[in-house]
Amino acid sequence: MTRAVCGFYFSNDKGRFVLIKKNRPKWQHGLLNGVGGKVEEGEFALDAMRREFREETGVDVEDWDPYCVVVDEVHRYEVTYFRAFCPDRNLDRCKTMTDEEVHNFPVGAVFTLPVVHNLTWLVPMALDSNVSSTRSVWRDNSPQQE
């Protein structure tokens, strides 16, 4: 099973957050998503989240909170979703470090921007203080785009 991570980095006031414009995989090309990528062999999901965010934005974030795991047994993948909050309320430190552009947006724009389909529920879930560390597991058996 392929394991991946995806993180949403929010301003402390929960008004803005960081997204990345995806070039890959093919089905995400041109869409916005949280920052993340594959978990390497022998790596913990939290370490992968820290590494991916640093590689893609140039910012070290230590305090990632896992809040949801999505498992797709048909396509054999598992994604752990994380959230973190910017202590200095300045998301502008996040810069484009790869061929995928990093931007910050108002949180409410998740409903109008060209985002990966599940962000419309994953982002509000990340901001829900009643959701705590990976107690939420969702099994995705819907057909996925290739």
Residue ranges per structural domain of the chain: 2-139
Give the global pTM: 0.89
Full 3-state SS string of the chain: CEEEEEEEEEECCCCEEEEEECCCCHHHCCCEECEEEECCCCCCHHHHHHHHHHHHHCCCCCCCEEEEEEEECCCCEEEEEEEEEECCCCHHHCCCCCCCCEEEEEHHHHHCCCECCCHHHHHHHHHCCCCCCCCCEEECCCCCCC
CB 71 within 8 A of CB 78: yes
How many CB atoms are located within 10 Å of the residue 35 CB? 25
pLDDT band at 137 (very low <50, low <70, confident <90, very high): low
CA distance 130 to 138: 17
CATH class of the domain at 2-139 = alpha beta
Q: In the predicted model, is pLDDT for residue 25 greater than 60?
A: yes
Segment 41-69, tens digit of pLDDT: 999 999 999 999 999 999 999 999 999 99
pLDDT band at 144 (very low <50, low <70, confident <90, very high): very low
Tokens of 65: 């909170």
pLDDT, residue 88, reads 73
pLDDT band at 139 (very low <50, low <70, confident <90, very high): low
pLDDT, residue 131, reads 75
Mean pLDDT estimate for the chain: 90
Residue 131 phi, psi dihedral angles, 5° rounding: -90, 125
Segment 81-129, tens digit of pLDDT: 999 999 876 899 999 999 999 999 999 999 999 999 999 999 999 999 8
pLDDT, residue 140, reads 53
